[in-house]
Chains A and B, each alone.
Chain A
């Protein structure tokens, strides 16, 4: 058995988590030594129960382990341990780092800046747009986007980065061979090409709610900065931000209107000293990256529009607006308005983010 296979064995024992592995490795030097322990050495580790010890002894089936490891590789899953060089170095600096990671796709590049984009699962359309836009622009500028592949902001952040052709990484709270939630399957597949799926849990490990906060420490740990897009007053995204703060990362937050419940958490972060983000340049400047504004080009085009089109275009913003409201503000009839909106949409000036709700494209 190879060294990696010993690691694989130790990290895949049921009931034996990070704490117990640490206790074992405090006593033995390598997993190999644990494997070959024939005496009563395990008895000296107080943390282990009788059942644990029995499990360790029973599981020493080298043929079975080798077979499992080969299967892992054949699934295209890469197994990286803490002692290897390509183990993300940032994780060495966090509290309670995992002993090994499973990777589908590739690992984030060490030398490239990485931003974690997190936020509410039940986000608003505004949050969705912001997530896609900011992570898209950041990815275009060369920043790696990592997030948790969850519903809502997480998924949209990945989507934005993929659409911009950047690289993006998802850290899961279950095995990397499981796509959770299922509706993100497209992102899950694309991400293996344009980045990777990472997890500290072995293949086949099903998603469990209590593992998700643990996963957050990896999201913050592997990033250089954390961008919170939409979060309620009490939100899992704030846990990630808190962990990031402990790990000494930059915290960025998208401010929101004071009455929006989904912005309460973000605004609180700003009050506590997070950097308010109103555009990608606010983040990029911290990493000495230049931001090329694609908006200038658009402003020139503005002149090409007809008067009525201009009126409609001017009434739109980043906040989704329903056709009814636009009609009220512009005093255009529905017949005129629908034609103008369709025209503007086909000319790529505006975007329909939900049926009959429009935003402008920046």
Chain B
């Protein structure tokens, strides 16, 4: 204890993750006379309670001798439940400061996160990105994180992020005994390197003109889409290529997605920022909690991991009913709320739903040479998808089996790049139109806003009326057709919705009334 004065009280700052945002947590340490006990308080999860052993032993193994004093560490706010292992580092630093190894003023405007192992080395933790982002927003000057997380943290520009290998390095750095450079990534670098990985392209899909067109419309207006077709028609192939025609991610969008991935522990130094639109295709055995997010300590589910991208549900009717019905609220509100005893968690979930299914259990209806399902069986199969869910799907198309002639045809298929240009144009028109609204896409139009933005001329109204009686359409179909025709008009850069836009939108309406309408 030579030259070291005991401060008795100290505090270090850290943060916890709540939803996908960070909450600053103050770690206070106090050293006083009494029995040599190390106590940790502040509404802690079991991982945080175990930090006591990890911190004590790692301090010893890093060469810091702790005098026999009573140590109390408090994590505040005390009403927020703290989970995870990221508090190891701030606890260790706070204790060392209390014992005088580090002057308190050196901890100013510094945020610590990291897990320590028994020998004092730092292990990576999840949720670094949202925490660093919060630190930046709250005016911190620097963050000290495990070296394995440094790229992820450094994505946030405007704050110094230092990666440390072990406890000693952190202490030396804080005491200005050694120099550490903040990790810095150029924004441009982040965005370049993954480009060439993109091999998927819409030109790989031969034929399927209607499906492609419908997907283009869906992507333009963020409409949810359902593809019905026999096995091998190319539904999955088409769905996988949808992200290639969606606009490229803006930095803010990218950061938002990355925050979700960071909380889920899916980021690392080689992939520190999500640069491509997510494409998630969970298997149909997925549970409700895995789809929507959940668990005792909630983590984001597939729908949040698909945020700003595509959620592809293949074999739609095979998903368990409970699982699939969970989609209703997120589809409406674009976020998912998970309530737990400790609090309510919100995860963003603004995705484009792409569902694919067979028309019947054998998959070949209405080809009667292959399908022997009775009308009732077909009805039952389709009936597994509930009406309210279908109401949230604007576009429905059939993908047909591609015949040999189409496969052989030399007609060049359009590339994703070309389609993306049109999609971007249509999206810009929408952004412009809805600049005073709280939504950006045609698919989010409500009946009220629809009357304002989807005005129809006399001729168009007549057409719609005739088509309705002819095709036995329901009132629900009316709104969906209007929304889709608005997007089709936007794709053609037409100010008004014309007859041809309506005709086309009607073709993408939901499957036959007989099967799905009451």
**Cβ contact of A343, chosen from B373, B503, B507, B509, cutoff 8 A:** B503
Contacts of B265 in A (CB 8 A): none
27 contacts between A and B (CB under 8 A): A122-B373, A122-B375, A123-B368, A124-B368, A125-B366, A151-B376, A183-B375, A183-B376, A260-B368, A261-B369, A262-B368, A262-B369, A322-B398, A323-B210, A324-B208, A328-B405, A334-B209, A334-B213, A334-B504, A338-B506, A339-B503, A339-B504, A342-B467, A342-B503, A342-B506, A343-B503, A352-B471
| Chain B residues near A122 (CB-CB < 8 A) | 368, 372-375
CA distance A328 to B411 in the complex (A): 11
B370-406: CB near A (< 8 Å → 1, else 0) gives 0011111000000000000000000011101000011
Closest to B371 in A: A122
> For the complex, what is the distance from the CA of A262 to the CA of B373, rounded to whole Å?
13
When the two chains form their complex, are residues A338 and B507 in contact, meaning their CB atoms are under 8 A apart?
Answer: yes
Interface residues of B in 180-239 (CB under 8 A from A): 207-210, 213
| Chain B residues positioned under 8 Å from A259 (CB to CB) | 369
Establish whether residues A322 and B400, one from each chain, have CB atoms under 8 Å apart when the complex forms.
Answer: yes
Q: Sorted from nearest, which 6 A-B pairs have the closest CB atoms? A: A342-B503, A124-B368, A338-B504, A339-B500, A334-B213, A339-B503
A121 interface contact, C-beta 8 A: yes
Query: B466 within 8 Å of A by Cβ?
Result: yes
Q: Which residues of B contact A282 (CB under 8 A)?
A: none
Check if A198 is an interface residue, CB within 8 A of chain B. no
Instruction: Check B374 against A325 for contact (C-beta < 8 Å).
Output: no
With A122-B368, A327-B210 already in contact, 20 other A-B pairs whose C-beta atoms are closer than 8 Å: A122-B372, A151-B375, A152-B375, A183-B376, A261-B369, A322-B398, A322-B400, A324-B208, A324-B210, A327-B209, A335-B504, A338-B500, A338-B504, A342-B502, A345-B470, A354-B512, A355-B396, A355-B398, A356-B210, A357-B366
Enumerate chain B residues within 8 angstroms of A1, measured Cβ to Cβ: none
The answer to whether A260 and B210 have CB atoms under 8 Å apart is no
In the complex, what residues of B have CB within 8 A of residue A327's CB? 209-210
Least CB distance from A300 to B in Å reads 23
CA A127 to CA B366, docked complex, whole Å: 12
A346 touches B406 (CB 8 A): no
How far, in whole Å, are A346 and B471 apart by their CA atoms in the complex? 10
| A341 on interface, CB distance cutoff 8 Å | yes
Interchain CA distance A295-B376 in the complex, whole Å: 35
Contacts of A262 in B (CB 8 A): 368-369
Task: State the CA gap A322–B367 with chains docked (Å).
Answer: 12
* A346/B374 contact (C-beta < 8 A), A124-B368, A334-B209, A339-B504 known: no
A329 to chain B, nearest CB (A): 10
Q: Is the CB of A354 within 8 A of B366?
A: yes
Residues on A with beta carbons closer than 8 Å to the beta carbon of B503: 338-339, 341-343
Q: Which residues of B contact A152 (CB under 8 A)?
A: 375
Q: Which of A261-308 contact B (CB under 8 A)?
A: 261-262
Residues of A within 8 A of B512 (CB): 354-355
Which residues of chain B are near A322, meaning CB under 8 Å?
A: 398, 400
| Chain B contacts for A125, CB-based, 8 A | 366
B171 contacts the other chain (Cβ, under 8 Å)?
Answer: no
B463 at the interface (CB under 8 A from A): yes
Q: Min CB distance, A99 to chain B, in Å?
A: 34
- What total count of A-B pairs have CB within 8 Å? 86
User: What per-residue 1/0 map shows which CB atoms of B451-486 lie under 8 Å from chain A?
Assistant: 000000000000100110011000000000000000
Kindly identify, within residues 311 to 362 of chain A, every residue whose CB is under 8 Å from any CB belonging to chain B.
Answer: 320, 322-325, 327-328, 334-335, 338-339, 341-343, 345-346, 352, 354-357
Q: Answer whether residue B496 sits at the interface, using C-beta atoms and an 8 A cutoff.
A: no
User: Whole-angstrom distance between the alpha carbons of A354 and B509 in the complex?
Assistant: 12
The reply to whether B504 and A324 contact each other, CB–CB distance below 8 Å, is: no
List of B residues within 8 angstroms of A338 by Cβ: 500, 503-504, 506-507
Measured between C-beta atoms, what is the minimum distance from A212 to chain B in Å? 15
Q: Is the CB of B369 within 8 A of A342?
A: no
Could you tell me the distance between the alpha carbons of A121 and B463 in the complex, rounded to whole angstroms? 36
The residue on A at minimum CB distance from B208 is: A324
Select which of A341, A346, A354 is within 8 A of B466 by beta carbon.
A346
8 A Cβ contacts from A90-132 to B = 121-125, 127
Q: Are B400 and A324 in contact (CB under 8 A)?
A: yes
CA distance A124 to B375 in the complex (A): 10
Interface size on B, residues (CB 8 A): 34
> Does B318 interact with chain A (Cβ within 8 Å)?
no
B-side contacts of A356, CB under 8 Å: 210, 397-398, 507
A362 CB → nearest B CB, Å = 18
Measured between alpha carbons, how far is A264 from B449 in the docked complex, in Å? 56
**Residue in B closest to A334 when the chains form the complex, CB atoms:** B213
Q: Please indicate the chain A residues that have their CB under 8 angstroms from the CB of B372 in the complex.
A: 122
> In whole Å, how far is A265's beta carbon from the nearest beta carbon of chain B?
13
Considering the complex, give the chain A residue whose CB is closest to the CB of B399: A324
List residues 481-508 of chain B with CB under 8 A from any CB of chain A.
Answer: 499-500, 502-504, 506-507
Binary contact readout A149-188 vs B (1 if CB under 8 angstroms, 0 otherwise):
0011000000000000000000000000000000100000
A315 CB, nearest partner CB in chain B, Å: 14
Query: What residues of B have a CB within 8 angstroms of the CB of A343 in the complex?
Result: 503
* Contact A339 to B499, CB < 8 A, known contacts A122-B373, A355-B398, A355-B512: yes
Could you tell me if A346 and B400 are in contact, using CB atoms closer than 8 angstroms? no
Asked whether B24 is an interface residue with its Cβ less than 8 Å from the other chain, the reply is no
**B366 — which chain A residues lie within 8 A by C-beta?**
124-125, 320, 354, 357
Q: Does B511 contact A (CB under 8 A)?
A: yes
Bound Cα distance A355, B470 (Å)? 12
In the docked arrangement, what's the CA distance between A134 and B214, Å? 37
Residue in A closest to B406 when the chains form the complex, CB atoms: A328
Chain A proximity of B209: nearest CB distance (Å): 5
- A75 to chain B minimum Cβ distance, whole angstroms, is 28
CB distance from A120 to the nearest CB of B (A): 8
**Contact (Cβ within 8 A) B499 A355:** no
From B213, which residue of chain A is reached at the shortest CB distance?
A334
A180–B238 alpha-carbon span in the complex (Å)? 42
How many Å lie between the Cα of A121 and that of B376 in the bound state?
11
Chain A nearest CB from B229 CB (Å) reads 10
Complex Cα–Cα for A201 and B366 (A):
35
Closest residue of chain B to A346, judged by CB? B466
**A308 → chain B closest CB, angstroms:** 13
Cα separation A315 to B210 with both chains bound (whole Å): 18
CB distance from B4 to the nearest CB of A (A): 78
* Closest A residue to B505 using CB positions: A338
Q: Which of A259, A262, A324, A325 has the most CB of B within 10 A?
A: A324
With both beta carbons as reference points, the residue of chain A lying nearest to B377 in the complex is identified as A122
Given contacts A124-B366, A324-B207, contact A335 B375 (CB under 8 A): no
Name the residue on A nearest B211 (C-beta): A324
Q: Which residues of A contact B500 (CB under 8 A)?
A: 335, 338-339
Given contacts A346-B470, A354-B512, contact A325 B400 (CB under 8 A): yes
Q: Which residue of B lies closest to A327 (CB)?
A: B209
Report the Cα distance A357→B471, complex, angstroms.
Answer: 13
Residues in B with CB closer than 8 Å to A342 are 463, 467, 502-503, 506-507
Q: Can you name the residue of chain B whose Cβ is closest to the Cβ of A259?
A: B369
Known: A122-B368, A324-B208. Contact between A151 and B509, CB under 8 A?
no
Please give, as numbers and ranges, the residues of chain A lying within 8 Å of B207 by CB-CB distance: 324, 328
* Closest CB in chain B relative to A316 CB, distance in Å: 16
Interface residues of A in 174-215 (CB under 8 A from B): 183
CA distance A125 to B365 in the complex (A): 10
Q: How far is the CA of A323 from the CA of B502 in the complex (A)?
A: 16
Find out whether the CB atom of A260 lies under 8 angstroms from the CB atom of B209: no
Report how far A345 CA is from B506 CA in the complex, Å: 12
Min CB gap B490→A, angstroms: 14
Q: Which of A152, A323, A355, A357 has the most CB of B within 10 A?
A: A355
**Cβ distance A247 to chain B, nearest Cβ, rounded Å:** 30
Please name all residues of chain B whose beta carbon is closer than 8 Å to the beta carbon of A352 when the two chains form the complex. Answer: 471
Instruction: Give the residue name and chain of the B residue nearest to A151 (CB).
Output: B375
Identity of the chain B residue whose Cβ is nearest the Cβ of A329 in the assembled complex: B405
